[in-house]
Every structure is written in structure tokens, then in C-alpha cells.
Structure 1
């Protein structure tokens, strides 16, 4: 066994590494226990439970691969499989919800203009394939985009192909970053966090503008 192989084993437990704690330490423990499929499991759960951030899990998968627990190829393969499985599960939820239930929810929500939702639905029908592909590379939306795809019953094999392609690009970037940064994997989280905050701010501003426009539209005019 070479020096490079033997040294990581001395610090190969997350509990022994002071730089790993909380979600990061737990994630590495799962990967060390289950191996590369553990990374896929975590990414699949991240799709279903967004509070588990892929911006942490993916670099950690690369970091764990750099310590010899599994290969870089296995890290990319299993995280991508996890992404596809999570997206497929959300697609199933959307398909179960269906258009009829969706419209019942839409009509029950205050300040929602049915005509606006119809426009959004029409937009998704026209651009759904692009939305699924590029949506896999946008924080927050990367999971949620699967639900409207299921509601609209997008062709399942096209959905899976686009999801796989988009997820592969996203995962390769973050896994490679964690692999080559090694102990400094957390630097990836910082840049990803900035990007996510920008997305959140843009979405919040758009929602505020939408609500304000609805209130003004529905406000009674001067008597």
C-alpha cells in the first residue's frame, strides 16, 4: 500500500476530522459507511428535501473520493443516479397531482389570476424541455422543476434524458471541485451560496412585484 493510500485512512472518519461537522460530517459518514452509493442516496434525498444542499453534498463526494473511499467516476455516476431518481420521484408526485388537482389548488389560492397561470402553463408546454435541462443547474428550481413536468405528463424518457444531462453537468462541476480542492472543499459552498442567494433575491422580488400588481389590480377605484 502506498503512502498516498495509507495516510487518508488515518483521518478517514469524519468524527476525527475537526473541519467536518454538522451536515458535512454526517454526509461523509454516510459515504464512508455505504460508499459511492451513499453519495447517490444523499443527492436523491436532497432532491426531495431541499434543506439538504447539493452544494455541500457534491463537493463532499469529490472530497471523499480524493481520500480513496471510492473513485472519482463512482462519485459522479452515483450522484447523477441520485439526482435522476429524486427528479423521477418528484415527477411522479406531479403526475399524481395532475392538472385537475392543480387547478383546484390554483383557484383556491387568493390573488392568483387563473389567466396568469394559464400563460405559465402554456410557456412550460412550449419551453418545458429547456426548463428541465437548465433548471437542473439552478438552485431551488433544480428540484421543483420536476413537478410541473409530471403535471404536464412530459414524455418520461425525454424527461429522464434531459434530467440526466443537466444533472451530469452540475454534478461534474461540483464533484470535481471537491476532488481537487480536497480539505478546502468548503470554498465551493461559499461561491454556490452567493449564487443561491442571488437566485432567492430575484425570485422574492418577482413574487413581491406580482403580489403588488395583483393588489393594485383588485383595489377598487375612486368612487
Structure 2
């Protein structure tokens, strides 16, 4: 079944959505991986649009739901790894200078991401996979600071799998109404940020209690 043609016979799908559906129809799961990988390499491409489209394509029989999850996660991880090694190779100053040349991306975006990584470390890599823009940029400070690659790869894979499963699954269940997912994307992101805050507070409270108990023991 030609998914792109089937769609245009009902309601035309243009722009990024039309291009993404056409690519997935032509290349199957590999097309989904390429598109999601580009989200890491070029932040203005929104995964909140691409991932539900991958689920929609799966619902139309272009590939299976499990294939959609596997390919999109592979694309996410591959893109993140490229950006990780880019940060490792360029270093902070050259990376920051490069950010200024990317359309729709500001050096302040990199500065905020770097500050988030410095403050939260491994939590930033894991939860960062679920926050717009941070998802694309968080790999840079991880590479610059030479975060152990195995740890970066594990956290990136797990975080990407969770994020992708939510949006691909929603697109699969909604079918032709896949675009509704975007209306709830921001809500999900706020939930993620809330979880980060809770995790940080729990960590601080645990440390303070540990220091208090140590002082009492003396």
C-alpha cells in the first residue's frame, strides 16, 4: 500500500509531515530512523511530529509497531552518538561557535543545556531525551565533559525508548488522528520536568539526612 498516495486521496499532507510519510513509505523503518536521527542533528525538526507519524505509518501497515519502536529508537541513539562525538572532538568553545551558525538555534540554548548537564549529570542525559531542544543538545556537553560512553549510551537508549514508545504508541492508536498527539506533547514534557525536580529534591533530602545522621553518630 502506498501510504503517501492513500493519504493524498483523502486530505493532502504537505510540508514536513508529507515528506516524512513519503520517506517512511519508500524506505520503511529505515526512513523512520533517518527522520528521528535528524531530530538530534538538526533540533528544529520536532520529534513530537515525527514519532506519531511513525506510529500512524505502522497502523497503516507500512511496518509493524515493534519495528517502528525499534527503528525510531535506533535513529534517536545513532543521532545522539554522532552529536556526543562531535562535542568530544570540537570541545566547548568550538561547539558554542558552531551553535551560533545553526538556523533557529541560539548559543543561549547550548548554555542552558550545558548548565543543566553540569547540575544534574546523568539525570540530565536520561530525562533530557524527553525535553524539546535539550533532547538534541544534551549530547554535546556529555561529549565535551567526556562522560563515560557506556553510561551515555545506556541512559540515551532507555530515555529514547520511553519517549518514543509514548508518541509512537499514541500515533498508532489514533491512526488518522495522529496529529492530536502534538496537543498533549507539552503536558507530557511538564510531567518529565516535574519528575526531574522530584528526583533532585529526593537526592538533596537524602544527602542532608545522611550528613545529619553522620554528625549525630559522632
Q: Partner of 1:34 in structure 2? A: 27
Give me the whole-angstrom Cα distance separating, in 2, the residues matched to 1:84 and 1:65.
Answer: 20
Larger radius of gyration: 1
Detail structure 1 runs of 4+ shifted over 4 Å in the superposition: 99-105, 193-197
Q: Partner of 2:177 in structure 1? A: 184
For the aligned residues, what is the CA RMSD?
2.8
TM-score, L = length of structure 2: 0.72
How far apart are 1:100 and its partner, in Å?
A: 6.9
TM-score, L = length of structure 1: 0.71
Post-superposition Cα deviations, 1:20-78, rounded to whole Å, max 9, x if no partner, equal: 22111110000000001110100001111112110010000000000001000000000
1:35-114 to 2 correspondence within 5 Å?
A: 35-99=28-92
With 20-29 and 169-178 compared, the bigger mean Cα shift is at 20-29
**Count of aligned pairs:** 177
Contact 2:4 2:22 in 1 (8 A): no
Q: Partner of 2:108 in structure 1? A: none
Runs of 5+ in structure 1 lacking a partner?
1-8, 106-116, 200-223
Contact 1:44 1:83 in 2 (8 A): yes
Q: Partner of 1:159 in structure 2? A: 152
How far apart are 1:162 and its partner, in Å?
A: 0.3
Q: Partner of 1:25 in structure 2? A: 18
Runs of 5+ in structure 2 lacking a partner?
99-110, 193-218
* 2:125 counterpart (111, 123, 132): 132
